[in-house]
Amino acid sequence: MIKPIMKDVFFLSQKSEPSTEADKQVGKDLIDTLTAHKHECVGMAANMIGVRKNVIIVDAGFMPLVMFNPVITKKSGKYETEEGCLSLIGVRPCTRYKEITVEYQDMAFKKHIQTFKDWTAQIIQHECDHLQGIII
């Protein structure tokens, strides 16, 4: 189901809680909501649709990738950039890494460890910041 985009900075600044298999619908809602905003958005965190759970979605080019409980375990290639956010107005400076390794669970709650680079890595870092209540 397409959900409204959360713009309340107080809500967005709160840390999210671990997700469980009971939160699978959140992943489906993120797919629907990202698809509806595809022209202006490449990733979302669950708190952007009003749910404080550790779930993100990334438009990886070929299909959206939903990650439950993502944790960045390695990062390299630090750089400075600017990012915008569907929940916020304007762009802001931030520090990102060119390559990251992420541990996460997929829609079937199967564990994965995967390395991402460049644009996809940047999107994942932005969404993981959301889960920690970090607002760029």
| Pair of tokens at residue 105 | 């669970």
* Interatomic CA distance for residues 115 and 32, integer angstroms: 25
* Interatomic CA distance for residues 48 and 12, integer angstroms: 7
* Interatomic CA distance for residues 10 and 81, integer angstroms: 24
Q: How far is CA 42 from CA 49, 82, 86, 94, 125, in A?
A: 14, 15, 10, 17, 12
Active-site positions read 127
